[in-house]
Structure 1
């Protein structure tokens, strides 16, 4: 077997697992319906109002809810039954499309109703996006996770290749009502697949998180993870500039290229087809380039496409350019998404992927509004040129900020012993102060503190909201690390969250300890007493 064949076999390996394959096909059908709906809404708004601001509002309405709600949705995906949650949201999405159908059939559709119902659809997308991504490790084995993430991106772009073209044809031949009706039917297939999936429901857990506590834990993790910060920043700058092509594409199709609804669908279909091609050659690209090289390549190609479109080329040139754009788009999406997946432990995956989606959609929303306003002021061609120059500039400027490798072992180590207590402690009692006492030689002090600084990030990621280190005034070799946790239950969760990679960091810290035994660990609980008021 050739190396290329081996790579492609690896790309499609997750489809050998039946549940993943069924849900993957179902999401392609569902996403195809969503693209059919979106192309109808994007085109209808150009009939109702041809101003760039109104057109870009549709894009903003689709992405703003994800920016606003992705983190709460991620929390829900971590604490609720993910299968049932997905089923409920599919009915919400179907209801929004039914409303679009009835308004279009009755001739009551307006810019306001299009934006409002697109916003409702965006709410549905916000609720399901973190959950669809978070279930991937449940459906495939660990070695196949990256391949499954790539296949999910491929599936979206298969839908992007089929949906917009089909939506444009349906809109041109049968009108908006039938187009929205096809989208409604697509949800039937998604719900059927989710009902068929017999998800293994986790056993009841006495330490199961509640919404507000889980929300705070997710934000603490995101705030303390430096690796995640790099991914978020790289994603924000890339999508803020590349969003111009999505916000202005309806106007490019109609005003610059002189096309109709079916041609707009063809342009979006070309993006999807290019993405499929890009996904197929991705294994070869990964063999030659690292993640940073792939992201830079995506920025250069996307900027080149925007530059070509700014000159109002022939229609066939625009289609060819958007094929390239699709390949660049899936390369960037897959690179950033798989990097985010690789650096996240399962306990916080849904919440932290939601942070990533918030940044992604915030950049898309803000970018869409900004580029729409810019196009109103200086015109579509100049706006595309400005966006292209900006994307090239930030692409090269941020290339030096390297993406994390994502090679750490994030499986729980379960190496912390159960804390000793004189009697059972109520789970909601807190806060909890944890003290770890070390004996450190003077010669090792500097290296010990460097290792302890690395450990502090792990403590904060896993639940601590305060951390510090102190020394004994009478004995400088006696150092005490301390951290605060909001409740006893949250500290017990910390015990389950510590990964094997975190255990390695802790071992590195403890090797500097010179005491006769292991570092002494003490737990102190806050006392609530009326005289202490």
Structure 2
């Protein structure tokens, strides 16, 4: 038996549940719900075992779970881009199953010390770090691009529905039988996702995007893309400004439950359940909220809610009032996470998607990992009430910052591949590792259009750097002001071939077209590929019998015949 993907019908486009019409997405969503429920049961068990050891120790559970993402997100993103993503996900599931099994065995043997608990929680976080980029990167394979926002919202609903059920179950189980059984349930919960992945018939075209990229080169390519993608950088900034205030709630809630509200593990589970119920309810109203407020308005509203909840927890002593205050926290959490997740998904092309998502997860989880112990230390030093009020102030600052640093409009971004660069017709075939490669493109621009041409080429520069260039320049000829020379350096021939084959997007093509609209009518860009010969000749010994004079040069010049004035075709290098 196998599971093949299916596409929802057009009539379901506006439904927040439309992605669930796809069989693979639906099966994985259900399996993930079971797994997330187990994870929340385990979180309650772990945090409650440490409540008597001080605020700083309790908050270290969140740090131990999140810190591996900071350390391993980029290598995990490279793995998800280089290898089959289903295989990566299966490896992560079985690794987490094994660690959870060890946790359960130690708990049953009454041998689980705080140090061992934190170390094994860190190991589970390593599995989550390996899984995260691959899990996010397969979403566009399971749902249509226009429904990625709905899929992201359903992912957040999944987590928060599990938050509504798991903590209450976990608290009851811990109170009745001890922590060992919640760890055991979590171990078994990974089998469901593994079963669905084994049965999934993944399309052959959805294979590894990074191909034969080496690890270090792939890491640099991912970092370079993110750094030169302003839209992705802005999503990361908004994430970084939201997470510290949001992390305070999760880090300090068990302390509020035990110290301020006088609740046990079951009561703490019910408080987390209130957050989950709010998130599930939020799934119904989120599409309307986004239509009314837009992406940036949703971020402001979410941050304001997260400013109000800690203020309520700092002042109330009645458990049911605290639970009511936590309901909108769930809605705000799902709204912000779905908005940020959809924003980064829609801005990343397939070849670097897992690495870009790895950076996003690194910022998100890293912010939580670093903020949680700081909130715990502040609670120990200044008191829980003062710490909660400080978290309120941080969230208010995050809301105010949206006006200064909003998300960029994504309407003009199209990450679909654009195969508009023909293979450069060199007189010899360089090796994959040959380089660096200096690509030069000569343009002729009328006097009246030179300033506008220079301005449009700035976007082309970012495109070159995103896709592989380590250096870029645009020069005007001092003897011929109409002549402009663009140069960019690519580390290896393999990197430059990747630019030709998989890395350019429809957005890159549009930027090139807009710059070339300003060329002198009837002129064509002239493209040159030159290779560094400092470490030895790139051209093989002896002439190429197919090409006269091919043994005399390591530079190739070509006037791209596919380029007409304003034709919209791309340059050949």
TM range, smaller chain: over 0.9
Aligned to 1:43: 48
Distance in 2 of aligned mates of 1:187 and 1:459: 42
Aligned counterpart in structure 2 of residue 149 of structure 1, from 148, 152, 155: 152
Structure-2-length-normalised TM-score: 0.89
Aligned counterpart in structure 2 of residue 170 of structure 1, from 169, 173, 183: 173
Paired residues of 1:439 and 1:515 also in contact (CA < 8 A): no
Q: 1:472 to 1:207 in 2, by over 3 A?
A: farther
Which shows bigger deviation, 401-410 or 413-422?
Answer: 401-410
Please list, as runs of the form range in 1=range in 2, the aligned pairs for 1:62-211 lying within 5 A after superposition. 62-202=65-205, 208-211=212-215
Paired residues of 1:440 and 1:479 also in contact (CA < 8 A): yes
Distance in 1 of aligned mates of 2:14 and 2:225: 35
1:259-289 deviation per Cα after TM superposition (whole angstroms, max 9, x unaligned) = 0001111111111111111111101111211
Aligned counterpart in structure 1 of residue 297 of structure 2, from 286, 293, 300: 293
Q: 1:204 to 1:133 in 2, by over 3 A?
A: closer
- SS of 1:474's partner is coil
Paired residues of 1:81 and 1:201 also in contact (CA < 8 A): no
Distance in 2 of aligned mates of 1:205 and 1:455: 23
Distance in 1 of aligned mates of 2:246 and 2:346: 24
Distance in 1 of aligned mates of 2:121 and 2:524: 59
Higher RCO (C-alpha 8 Å, min separation 6): 1
Aligned to 2:564: none
Q: CA deviation at 1:190?
A: 1.5
Aligned to 1:501: 507
Aligned to 1:280: 284
Distance in 2 of aligned mates of 1:479 and 1:74: 38
Match status 1:383 vs 2:387: yes
- SS of 2:201's partner is coil
Paired residues of 1:273 and 1:326 also in contact (CA < 8 A): yes
Structure-1-length-normalised TM-score: 0.95
Please list, as runs of the form range in 1=range in 2, the aligned pairs for 1:239-278 lying within 5 A after superposition. 239-278=243-282
- SS of 2:72's partner is helix
Q: CA deviation at 1:394?
A: 2.6
Distance in 2 of aligned mates of 1:529 and 1:143: 49
Aligned to 2:336: 332
Paired residues of 2:82 and 2:210 also in contact (CA < 8 A): no
Aligned to 1:434: 439
Paired residues of 1:41 and 1:114 also in contact (CA < 8 A): yes
Pick the structure with greater CA Rg.
Answer: 2
Paired residues of 1:7 and 1:283 also in contact (CA < 8 A): no
CA RMSD of aligned residues (A): 1.8
1:117-165 deviation per Cα after TM superposition (whole angstroms, max 9, x unaligned) = 1111111111111111100011122232222222112111111111111
Aligned to 2:16: 11
Q: CA deviation at 1:84?
A: 1.1
Which shows bigger deviation, 199-208 or 171-180?
Answer: 199-208
Q: CA deviation at 1:181?
A: 0.9
Structure 2 portions without partners, runs of 5+ = 1-10, 539-573
Q: CA deviation at 1:255?
A: 0.4
Q: 1:14 to 1:528 in 2, by over 3 A?
A: same
Distance in 2 of aligned mates of 1:8 and 1:350: 26
Q: 1:273 to 1:415 in 2, by over 3 A?
A: same
Aligned counterpart in structure 1 of residue 495 of structure 2, from 476, 490, 497: 490
Q: Is the helix fraction higher in 1 or 2?
A: 1
- SS of 1:524's partner is strand
Q: 1:344 to 1:204 in 2, by over 3 A?
A: closer
Paired residues of 1:438 and 1:479 also in contact (CA < 8 A): yes
Q: CA deviation at 1:512?
A: 1.5
Q: CA deviation at 1:450?
A: 0.4
Paired residues of 2:29 and 2:155 also in contact (CA < 8 A): yes
Distance in 2 of aligned mates of 1:391 and 1:8: 34
Q: 1:270 to 1:148 in 2, by over 3 A?
A: same
